[in-house]
Structure 1
Amino acid sequence: MNKLSAPFCRWLTPLFMLCVALCSAAQAQLSERFGDYELHYSVVNTTFIEPEVAAQYGLARGSRRAIINLSLREHLEDGSTVAREMDLDGRSWDLTQAQVDFDFIEVREGPALYYIGEFKFINREWRFFDISFTPEGSEETLNIDFKRQMYIND
């Protein structure tokens, strides 16, 4: 897993907030609860990333390219939440079973912590996702599966 520097992160938090706001309900950020942990996830087209930022950090932009964005929050007894590191293993595939194994990039900005994986897609293609993660300090590996229909953003 690669760690990205703070200048990139300053662009990333507003970027993901914008992406979540602009995405349709089917593509917007979702979350799933696993006991005290809540995994937030979204899938967005890379054309939402500014060209300079993408180039600086090796993220490929294009109308047929997307990223999966994951973050993990732990719910504490006092009612607050805190970002947690996690070990990740994830993949995506299409209806023909062509598979992509994610090489996640870790992005930190202050208390915010994201994990990003890249993939290519075909317009109107259904993509299936399988993500396994182990929260920092936990022995238990958790899993989430979901699917998204992808659209080219011209």
Structure 2
Amino acid sequence: MIRWLALMPVLFVPAAQAEQAQKFGDVEIHYNAMLSTDLLPDVAKNYKIDRSPTRGIVTVSVLKKNAMGVAQPIPARLTAYMVNLSNQLGDISLREIKEGSAIYYLGEFRVVPPNTLKFTVIVEANGEPKREVTFSQKFYK
């Protein structure tokens, strides 16, 4: 849990970027993408993420409001891919991270800045319709 709390600001609110989210009724999908060099070395090491100016990471978490209206993490099956400005498609393998009550998903991909990538994440949570979020992220040298 302590690692998650230390990682959360780094993953979801890096410099010059803000957390992004889409709501689908009681379900919220939070996502972000950044260069792996934006991570602190210790954080990258703890999560076995290669820090490189040509490696990016995407983070996704899925939350659902409980009966009291409080959003809580829920497990989901995720499929992710990205498309670069040359329309080259790349699959992103996501791995589930559980720490305490937190559940989130991390994936790594190749990017050569400057570039803009368009991401698509398909989320299948138990008992919920399949959801799709798309977002674009600019990457700078």
TM-score above 0.5, yes or no: yes
Q: Distance in 2 between matches of 1:49 and 1:12?
A: 13
Deviation digits for residues 58-103 of structure 1, max 9, x if unmatched?
3211122111100011012312121000000110110112222111
Percent of residue pairs identical: 25
Normalised to the residue count of structure 2, the TM-score between the two structures is 0.87
1:39 to 8, 29, 52: 29
Map residues 46-85 of structure 1 onto 2, 5 A cutoff: 46-55=36-45, 57-85=47-75
Q: Distance in 2 between matches of 1:54 and 1:114?
A: 15
1:15 to 4, 7, 14: 7
2:132 to 143, 148, 151: 143
Query: Higher strand share goes to which structure?
Result: 2
Normalised to the residue count of structure 1, the TM-score between the two structures is 0.81
* Total equivalences in the alignment: 141
The unaligned stretches of length 5 or more in structure 2 are none
Q: Distance in 2 between matches of 1:11 and 1:64?
A: 25
Aligned AA (1:22): P
Q: Distance in 1 between matches of 2:136 and 2:99?
A: 28
- Structure 1 runs (4+) deviating above 2 angstroms are 9-13, 18-23, 48-58
The unaligned stretches of length 5 or more in structure 1 are 1-8
Map residues 80-119 of structure 1 onto 2, 5 A cutoff: 80-119=70-109
What's 1:4 paired with?
Answer: none
Check 1:23–1:71 CA distance in 2 against 1; reply closer, same or farther (3 A cut): same
